[in-house]
Amino acid sequence: MRKRRHRSRAVSGAVLAAALLAVTGCDATGGSSPGPEGTGAKARPSASPTPAWDSTPRSLVAVGDSITRGFDACSVLSDCPEVSWATGSDASVDSLAVRLLGRTGAAERSWNYAVTGARMADLPSQVARAVTRKPELVTVMIGANDACRATADAMTPVADFRADFEDAMDTLRDSLPKAQVFVTSVPDLKRLWSEGRTNPVGKQVWKLGICPSMLADPDVLTTAATERREAVQDRVEAYNDVLRDVCAEDRHCRYDGDAVFDYRFGQAQLSQWDWFHPSVDGQARLAEIAYRIVSRKGE
């Protein structure tokens, strides 16, 4: 068992501008054409093998951030958990919970404890809530908010990101040593910039403060702007390395092999309000990815 780490965290003031940044400056994917598989040039690892994987869990808890809450998928600046890729009830999404448990089972034995605006530092407390349900499967999608900060310098350090993820896993294992964990990669924020900057409406919404570390001044291609975006991209990839490596240390954890990071979301898969969070169709694509990996038999 890894040594547990606990650290106190400061909480920002709840002024409107900060709240807007917290709930919209996070969690997205981008690209030039939709498709079920990643098509990037960089070779990606396959979803991590797990020797004791049950492809038919009987209960599920989702933890994470605004993507898992369905933020901005149904209406502006609002959560819409009914279209969540993980636990949603909307038939057009066909969520992971519905696919695994059936519609009645999903309504009775799946819970969504994700919080819009959450960062990795918030994951241990979410997991502490999740274990009270004694789920057989826990889904984790978090990390975009750690990269989406006011500046690139303000991004969560990789060491802190790792320590908080390890803390969350230890919290889970203290209560549920055999619960399965499905961990998704952090989405490709640079790909989102490349996709969204072609939409004039999206660029205007981004000026409200959405993920400024990546999306500020979207049409500026100076050396400084390019280096800033590359720094965010490098940090996202480092976060995904952490998620993969920590998950690999746990025989009941399965990482998505960078499937979410590689997925090429088009504009149809992005919210019509902020061109950043997944739309209902985007949520459905995430559900497809998750089910494909979770339902694969143990190796």
- In sequence order, what are the residues at sequence separation of 6 or more whose Cβ sits closer than 8 angstroms to the Cβ of residue 114? 62, 63, 64, 65, 66, 67, 68, 69, 84, 86, 126, 141, 142
Split at pLDDT 50, 70, 90, the class of 299 is low
pLDDT at 14: 34
Q: 152-166: per-residue pLDDT in tens?
A: 999 999 999 999 999
pTM: 0.83
Q: Which domains does the chain have, with CATH numbers?
A: 19-294 (3.40.50.1110)
pLDDT at 26: 46
Q: 221-253: per-residue pLDDT in tens?
A: 999 999 999 999 999 999 999 999 999 999 999
pLDDT at 51: 56
Q: What is the mean pLDDT of residues 182-196?
A: 93
Q: What is the mean pLDDT of residues 168-195?
A: 95
pLDDT of 293 strictly over 70: yes
- In sequence order, what are the residues at sequence separation of 6 or more whose Cβ sits closer than 8 angstroms to the Cβ of residue 174? none
Q: For residue 255, what are its two tokens? A: 């990482």
Q: Closest by alpha carbon to 243, among 143, 172, 152, 121?
A: 143
pLDDT at 202: 81
Q: 12-51: per-residue pLDDT in tens?
A: 333 333 334 444 444 433 333 333 333 334 444 455 554 5
pLDDT at 5: 42
Q: 58-88: per-residue pLDDT in tens?
A: 999 999 999 999 999 999 889 999 999 999 9
Asked if residues 187 and 261 have their Cβ atoms less than 8 Å apart, the reply is yes
- In sequence order, what are the residues at sequence separation of 6 or more whose Cβ sits closer than 8 angstroms to the Cβ of residue 10? none
pLDDT at 47: 52
pLDDT at 169: 98
- Taking CA atoms, 224 is separated from 152, 191, 221, 231, in Å, by 12, 18, 8, 11
pLDDT at 118: 97
Q: Which of 5-19, 129-143, 162-176, 237-251 has the lowest mean pLDDT?
A: 5-19
Q: What is the mean pLDDT of residues 210-214?
A: 94
pLDDT at 73: 95
pLDDT of 10 strictly over 70: no
pLDDT at 4: 44
pLDDT at 136: 98
Q: 82-120: per-residue pLDDT in tens?
A: 999 999 999 999 999 999 999 999 999 999 999 999 999
